[in-house]
Amino acid sequence: MTPIEIIAPEKVGFSATRLGRIGDLMRGYVDGGKLAGTVSLVSRRGQVVYFDDYGQRDRETSAEMTLDTLFRIYSMTKPITTVAALMLFEDGHFLLDDPIANFLPAFADVQVCEGMDVTGMRLVRPERPPTVRDLMRHTAGLSYGWHQDTPVDQAYRDAKMQERRYGLAEGVEQLARLPLAFHPGQMWRYSYATDVLGRLVEVWSGENLDEFLQRHIFAPLGMTDTAFQVAPDKIDRFAACYTLPNLMGFVVDRDDGSSSDQALTLMEAPAASRFATPPVFLSGGGGLVGSTADYLRFCQMLLNKGVLDGARILGRKTVEAMTVNHLPAGMIPYNAKTAPVPDPGFGFGLGVKVLVDLAASGRLGSSGMYGWGGAATTTFWIDPAEELIGIFMTQFMPSGFYPVTTQFQRTVYQALV
């Protein structure tokens, strides 16, 4: 990793003293036994003002956390896959409201579950076909199989979709054989949509997803540590992943104290990780591993409206279209119907959530800021109004059990002067 220069925070409008509260926050989590280790990064106007690590990346081997540690970024893969698709949009391969069945014929006969009757699921034709835009904003009717509110999620579990035993093409064909949880465009639901989008990248480009990302995004941006597999010569930089006993569900962004008396437990050692071997399923929705510095380069490209160090990835207007809200007012906040506690004030763009109502959010920040997170409690956001990027990395599942990501964001903003 090329060393990142850290400038005096005062040069870009931060108080160094107040920014130091980030370290206090991280020490509290690590020394309190809630997290093994963390990396935090803050950049403004293209200059890094805070980049620090604390704790351990692997408690079992006593390996210290370092700035070049590699993390499972899980759903922080989604914005990258969306950018790949938008590059092909610019090349003229599709329009946002094209039906996905135009390119993936298996979806031509997809049906919607409208409930159960004595013979099983009651299936009907969708009121309109799912589109590429639906995939990018999670309104296609797909799901992840986590929920209990629809028999469709049980069908996902019965099909063992979470095991990802298939290659990407076969896995998407399997998804197309399962019913939709709702009519396209009528509801936001987190889902395999971005995995389907990753398959579309392959169809449109004629390249495997990993090859496309490497050639057209990672290499031009100098993201040398981001891939679907941790290379053998980098495994010693890969962090272990932790959880608490009997805590594997996805929960909202809170710490309810229900497991506060339980010790941090190893979930996946680096060498034993599935990321240490070549993947079977190239997941555009959650399959990448990378470093904090690499993700900064991706974020800076977006903040720069599609270009970094002379490498133009997207056009300015495409980034603007990606990072505005694409949901109707009745779907805001985006997860109001699918999470115990919604994310108030946020709509959803193409591959990222977007803040549309600062007051409703209860956060510090700016209207128009956008970002996303990953299942192991990683997160990023970009604030165009403040020319600000925040990235937080750790490895604890499930994301949201502790409010550390929202606390990190608050601590960054309180340091602006």
- What is the tens place of the pLDDT at every residue in 382-404? 999 999 999 999 999 999 999 99
Cis peptide before 333 (omega within 30 of 0): yes
CATH 3.30.70 fits 97-203, yes or no: no
Among 40-44, 164-168, 220-224, 240-244, the minimum mean pLDDT is found in 164-168
The CA distance from 190 to 353, in Å, is: 12
- Pairwise CA distance, residues 270 & 242, whole Å: 11
Q: What is the band of 1 on the pLDDT scale with cuts at 50, 70, 90?
A: low
118 vs 116: CA distance, rounded Å? 7
**What does the pLDDT average to over 211-232?**
98
Mean pLDDT throughout 12-21? 97
Domain limits, CATH 1.20.58, in the chain: 97-203
Surface-to-core class of residue 200, CB atoms within 10 Å of its CB (0-12 exposed, 13-18 middle, 19+ buried): buried
pLDDT band at 277 (very low <50, low <70, confident <90, very high): very high
User: Binning pLDDT at 50, 70 and 90, where does residue 254 land?
Assistant: very low
List Cβ<8 Å contacts ≥24 apart for 18-23: 18/414, 18/415, 18/417, 19/49, 19/50, 19/412, 19/415, 21/411, 21/414, 21/415, 22/50, 22/52, 22/408, 22/411, 22/412, 22/415, 23/52, 23/54
Selected residue with higher pLDDT from 106 and 246:
106
Overall CATH class of domain 9-84+209-413: alpha beta
pLDDT at site 253: 35
pLDDT at position 156: 94
pLDDT (mean) for 187-207: 97
Give the residue carrying structure tokens 């990378």: 290
Mean pLDDT to the nearest integer, 170-189 = 96
pLDDT of residue 384: 98
DSSP H or E segment with residue 355 = strand 353-355
Distance (Å, whole) CA 383 – CA 353: 12
Question: Which pLDDT belongs to residue 262?
Answer: 72
Q: What is the mean pLDDT of residues 226-233?
A: 97
What does the pLDDT average to over 254-262? Answer: 49
Which ranges in the chain are annotated with CATH 3.40.710.10?
A: 9-84+209-413
The predicted pLDDT at position 343 comes to 92
Strands 370-374 and 378-383, sheet pairing: antiparallel
pLDDT band at 234 (very low <50, low <70, confident <90, very high): very high
Query: Tell me: the pLDDT tens digits for 149-170?
Result: 889 999 999 999 988 888 999 9
The CB density around residue 104, as the number of other CB atoms within 10 Å, is 20
pLDDT class of 251 with cuts at 50, 70, 90: very low
For position 118, what pLDDT does the model report? 81
Q: Per-residue pLDDT for 261 more than 70?
A: no
Centroid of chain to Cα 140: 18
> By percentage, how much of the chain surpasses pLDDT 70?
96
| CA 387 vs CA 117, 188, 357, 378, 417: distances in Å | 54, 29, 19, 21, 14
* DSSP helix/strand/coil, 109: helix
Query: Does residue 255 register a pLDDT over 50?
Result: no
Contacts for 326 with CB less than 8 Å, ≥ 6 apart = 133, 136, 137, 347, 348, 349, 350
Instruction: Specify the pLDDT at position 79.
Output: 98
Percentage above 90 pLDDT, the chain: 87
Q: Is the pLDDT of residue 103 over 50?
A: yes
Rounded Cα gap, residues 75 and 292, in angstroms: 15
Mean pLDDT of the chain: 94
As a whole number, mean pLDDT of residues 122-127 equals 94
**Please, are residues 223 and 298 in contact by the beta-carbon 8 Å criterion?**
yes
Q: pLDDT tens across 328-369, in order?
A: 999 999 988 887 778 999 999 999 999 999 999 999 999 999
| pLDDT band (50, 70, 90) for residue 119 | confident
Half-sphere exposure of 271 (CA within 13 A, CB side): 3
